[in-house]
Amino acid sequence: MILASTLTTNLAILVLAGFIGFVVISKVPNTLHTPLMSGTNAIHGIVLLGGLLLLGLANLGGLSKFLLVIAVTFGTINIVGGFLVTDRMLEMFKSKPKPPPASGEEGAAGEGKGEERS
Amino acid sequence: MTVTTPLASSFLQSESFIYVLYIVAFALFIQGLRGLSGPRTAVRGNRIAAVGMAIAIVATLLQRSEGNWGLIALGIALGTAVGVPAARNVKMTAMPQMVALFNGVGGGAVALISWVEFRHYGSTYGSRKVGLPVGEIVHRLGGGPNVLGVLTLHADVGGPPTYVAIFSVFAAIVGSVSFWGSNIAFGKLQEILPGRPITLGRAQQAVNLLLFVLAFGAGIALVAGTHSELLFIGMLLAAAVLGNMVVLPIGGADMPVVISMLNAFTGLSAAATGIALNNPALIVAGMIVGASGSILTNLMAQAMNRSIPAIVAGGFGGGGVVEGAEGAGEHAGSVKSTSAADAAIQLAYASRVVVVPGYGMAVAQAQHAVREMAKELEKRGVEVHYAIHPVAGRMPGHMNVLLAEADVPYDQLEEMEEANSEFGRTDVSLVIGANDVTNPAAKNTPSSPIYGMPILEVSDSQSVIVIKRSMNPGFAGIENELYYEPKTSMLFGDAKSAVSEITAELAQL
């Protein structure tokens, strides 16, 4: 009985999350699809939690610990890298709600890497 | 079941409090993603999601009670040391690889976690009927006293129930496929591996099917109670090879679909892990990513007018690519070539110019040069827009990111439908490193492999200038009729230098 309720509750969460995901993501314009991908990428780094939970168990063997450290490393790369890179990208999109460019300095502002220009 | 900790700490570690933190976390994820619906709210949205992630991690750390803090710190430190510089330094043109890589490590983490779950709980898989008393099981599993309450890993019932094994094994398989598939995608995008389809020919699908059956067969045996770690490793390996086999045959042009699909896989495997570990934040986050990946996969496949199974089954056919490349010389006589100076004049006296960027622009890192040229044109009162095909480049939205990096105003970017309705009143379409997405064969030639794919109808405009390195066909290996039309002129050269030359000529006019 308890078993059924844990599983079914989780399945209910799963299904609802799926629907919410579809609704929310459908509103994202094509233009932002790359940041969307890298952002959701960062979010699935949440598997890190699984690694943390299992590392909290007693009686882990050496190999298990080793595997979990790798898993935590991977999860962290996924989260930290994903959010940072998304932030970088989105900053570029944000930096121009200005009216069509009349000013010349605008190019200079976003110019981190001068050598990429010609 | 007694928790012998001081009051404050027992509140922080209480299951309800932790559960509430998880709810807050996933609410923030959803709110954050809602922000992505527009460029102005997107930065904040991403940060909101990041805060949600931080909360989820803190909640998880609160609820654990055994040691191993050192190992946790080690893993997080290593991950940060790798992830931060990678994210800081990656060039925007290399974004598809980066996303593939981050996706891969996520999938790898899922697979490893499932493996440890198996090492820890596997001996009780398929044995729930035994019905040991709760305390006994908890003890046998080494969980110690049930400090974790509702959120306990499987200890609230008589051993990990069968469904836990099912979801865990599912996560292991999909995670492994995703890890290896993403690595291959990374290799192809980074050009460590050839971008062309690598196939086993006819045997490919049989081999894939066999691997699939092997992986899932092993999974079923494990769930049914075969307590063999070797079998589990064998399952991971079969899934790993399957991941390789699925992505290797896929050509560069199909990458947007593959990356989206692998993203969905990792999300779904994370959700499965969430059910196995009874963790609501994991379930919600994983499922949202799964939904997002599925939507994108579908959109990309539609934009190519191809079914997802057809893409997974192999690129535009291994053989056809070579044939197409050989046939490329046939029409060569009727192509009109132009110079940067002529192109500059043509552009300068246009009133509306549409730039059609493709992967070639990304490869040449020409986005800044393009922006400079556009500024030069705008000074002369030319209206400049950018028409972006959904599958231009190597991942969904790839071109948009590059143009945004070069400070192209958001409102000059046109999506395909909008762009197509405007080509009729466009004087010059400037195609930069795009090929298949402009190929009229998709509309006119039923025998063409890309027939039916929606394209940017550049041939509706008054004239077309195509910047291209050579007459080689694109990744699909299909001849582009556009190049032989009388209104089309070809400017051969590297996208970046060609565009810079045009800009220089414009400045002198």
| pLDDT tens by residue, B273-291 | 999 988 999 999 999 999 9
Is A12 at the interface with chain B, CB within 8 A?
no
Nearest to B193 by CA among B238, B259, B247, B240: B247
In angstroms, the CA B243 to CA B245 distance is: 5
pLDDT at B404 over 70: yes
In B361-420 the beta strands, taken as DSSP E runs, fall at: 383-388, 413-415
Q: Are B473 and B496 in contact (CB under 8 A)?
A: no
Which residue in the block uniquely carries the two structure tokens 């009670």? B65
Q: Tell me whether residues B267 and A40 touch, CB distance under 8 A.
A: yes
Nearest to B461 by CA among B345, B352, B347: B352
Please name the residue of chain A whose CA is at the shortest distance from the CA of residue B257: A37
- What is the pLDDT at residue B257? 87
- What is the pLDDT at residue B33? 92
Q: Are B416 and B304 in contact (CB under 8 A)?
A: no
Q: Which residues pair with B467 in a beta bridge?
A: B432, B491
Listed in sequence order, the residues at least 6 apart from B300 whose beta carbon sits closer than 8 Å to its beta carbon are B256, B257, B260, B390, B391, B396
Residue type present at position B113: I
Q: Quick one: tokens of B176?
A: 């492994």
A-B CB pairs within 8 A amount to: 421
Please name the residue of chain B whose CA is at the shortest distance from the CA of residue A80: B83
> If you average pLDDT over residues B370-389, what whole number do you get?
91
pLDDT at B319 over 60: no
Chain A contact probe: residue of B287, B302, B494, B502 with most A CBs at under 10 A: B287
- What is the pLDDT at residue A96? 53
Handedness of CA B68, B115, B168, B75 (dihedral sign): positive
Q: Tell me whether residues A55 and B64 touch, CB distance under 8 A.
A: yes
Q: Which residue has the higher pLDDT, B417 or B78?
A: B78
B390 contacts on A by Cβ (under 8 Å): 30, 33
In angstroms, the CA B221 to CA B216 distance is: 9
ipTM value > 0.85: no
Q: Which residues of chain A have pLDDT under 50?
A: 1, 97-118
pLDDT at B483 over 90: no
Q: pLDDT per residue over B97-113, tens digit each?
A: 899 999 999 999 999 99
A36 contacts on B by Cβ (under 8 Å): 33, 36, 292, 296, 396-397
Helix (H, G, I), strand (E, B) or coil at B508: helix
Exactly one of B411, B436, B460, B494 is catalytic; name it: B436
Q: Which residue has the higher pLDDT, A10 or B252?
A: A10
Listed in sequence order, the residues at least 6 apart from A80 whose beta carbon sits closer than 8 Å to its beta carbon are A45, B79, B80, B83, B84, B87
In angstroms, the CA B126 to CA B437 distance is: 52
- What is the pLDDT at residue A110? 37
B436 catalytic, yes or no? yes
Split at pLDDT 50, 70, 90, the class of B262 is: very high
> If you average pLDDT over residues B150-165, what whole number do you get?
60
What is the share, in percent, of chain B residues with pLDDT greater than 70? 85
A10 contacts on B by Cβ (under 8 Å): 274-275, 278, 280, 283
Q: pLDDT per residue over B201-236, tens digit each?
A: 777 778 888 999 999 999 998 888 778 889 999 999
Q: Tell me whether residues B270 and A46 touch, CB distance under 8 A.
A: yes
β-strand B428-432 against B463-468: which pairing, if any? Answer: parallel
- What is the pLDDT at residue B473? 63
In angstroms, the CA B247 to CA B244 distance is: 6
Listed in sequence order, the residues at least 6 apart from B136 whose beta carbon sits closer than 8 Å to its beta carbon are none
Helix (H, G, I), strand (E, B) or coil at A78: helix
Query: Rounded to the nearest 5°, which phi and psi values hold at B289?
Result: -65, -40
Q: Tell me whether residues B75 and A71 touch, CB distance under 8 A.
A: yes
Split at pLDDT 50, 70, 90, the class of B66 is: low
pLDDT at B349 over 60: yes
Please name the residue of chain B whose CA is at the shortest distance from the CA of residue A85: B87
- What is the pLDDT at residue A92? 85
Q: Are B236 and B170 in contact (CB under 8 A)?
A: no
Residue type present at position B178: S
Q: Tell me whether residues B263 and A65 touch, CB distance under 8 A.
A: no
Q: Are B248 and B295 in contact (CB under 8 A)?
A: no
DSSP B312-361: HT-SS-HHHHHHHHHGGGTTGGGPPB--HHHHHHHHHT-SEEEEEE-HHH
- What is the pLDDT at residue B49? 94
Closest residue to A28, CB basis, from B37, B274, B280: B37
Q: Tell me whether residues B102 and A117 touch, CB distance under 8 A.
A: no
> If you average pLDDT over residues B349-357, what whole number do you get?
92
Chain B contact probe: residue of A9, A15, A46, A106 with most B CBs at under 10 A: A46
CA max distance for chain B:
88
- What is the pLDDT at residue B316? 44
β-strand B383-388 against B428-432: which pairing, if any? Answer: unpaired
Q: pLDDT per residue over B160-200, tens digit each?
A: 778 888 999 999 999 999 999 999 999 988 888 887 777 77
Helix (H, G, I), strand (E, B) or coil at B492: strand
- To the nearest whole number, what is the mean pLDDT of chain B? 82
B488-492 sheet: strands from edge to edge: B413-415, B383-388, B352-357, B428-432, B463-468, B488-492
Q: Quick one: tokens of B327?
A: 């046939």
Q: Report the gap between the CA of B113 and the closest CA in chain A (Å).
A: 6
